[in-house]
């Protein structure tokens, strides 16, 4: 979201002031709620949060998904897929438009297991 905010702010400045500017960078500060890194969970996905602390090392950690919601990119119909044998199967064919379209995973509508995390 922040790169899109940077781009939008730069475009609006160019339109409003009618002059060239290289790039505007958005910095978000003073959020009402601060979280601890160990207090983060699946409910924090797709949310803007504030964390205080010092970064010592990083790694990509993804929560274990229990139920995924996919949306047809043509018809915008939502399909659910439940974890089966450690796999989530993405729908291949839309039941409404009957096209073999791509489905987009809707993170904010899916449910995740707060206790299981997959380290990649």
pLDDT digits (tens, 9 = 90+) for 43-82: 787 788 888 788 788 776 666 788 889 988 887 888 888 7
Whole-number pLDDT of residue 115: 53
> How many domains does the chain divide into?
2
Whole-number pLDDT of residue 19: 81
Backbone angles phi, psi at 14, to 5 degrees: -60, -40
- pLDDT at residue 93 is higher than 50: yes
Whole-number pLDDT of residue 62: 66
Residues 6+ apart with CB under 8 A from 35: 44, 49, 50, 51
Rounded percentage of the chain residues whose pLDDT exceeds 90: 2
Record the pTM.
0.43
Q: Are residues 94 and 114 in the same domain?
A: yes
Q: Are residues 18 and 49 in the same domain?
A: no
Q: Are residues 11 and 56 in the same domain?
A: no
- Residue 1's domain comprises 1-29
Q: Are residues 54 and 113 in the same domain?
A: yes
């Amino acid at each position: 979201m922040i790169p899109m905010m940077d781009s939008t702010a730069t475009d609006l400045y160019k339109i409003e002031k009618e002059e060239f500017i290289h790039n505007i960078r958005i910095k978000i500060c003073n959020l009402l709620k601060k979280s601890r890194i160990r207090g983060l969970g699946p409910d924090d996905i797709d949310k803007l949060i504030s964390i205080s602390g010092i970064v010592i090392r990083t790694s990509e950690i993804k929560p274990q998904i229990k139920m995924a919601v996919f949306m047809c990119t043509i018809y915008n119909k939502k399909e659910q897929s439940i974890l089966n044998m450690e796999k989530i199967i993405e729908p291949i064919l839309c039941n409404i438009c009957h096209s073999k379209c791509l489905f987009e995973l809707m993170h904010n509508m899916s449910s995740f297991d707060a206790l299981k995390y997959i380290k990649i």
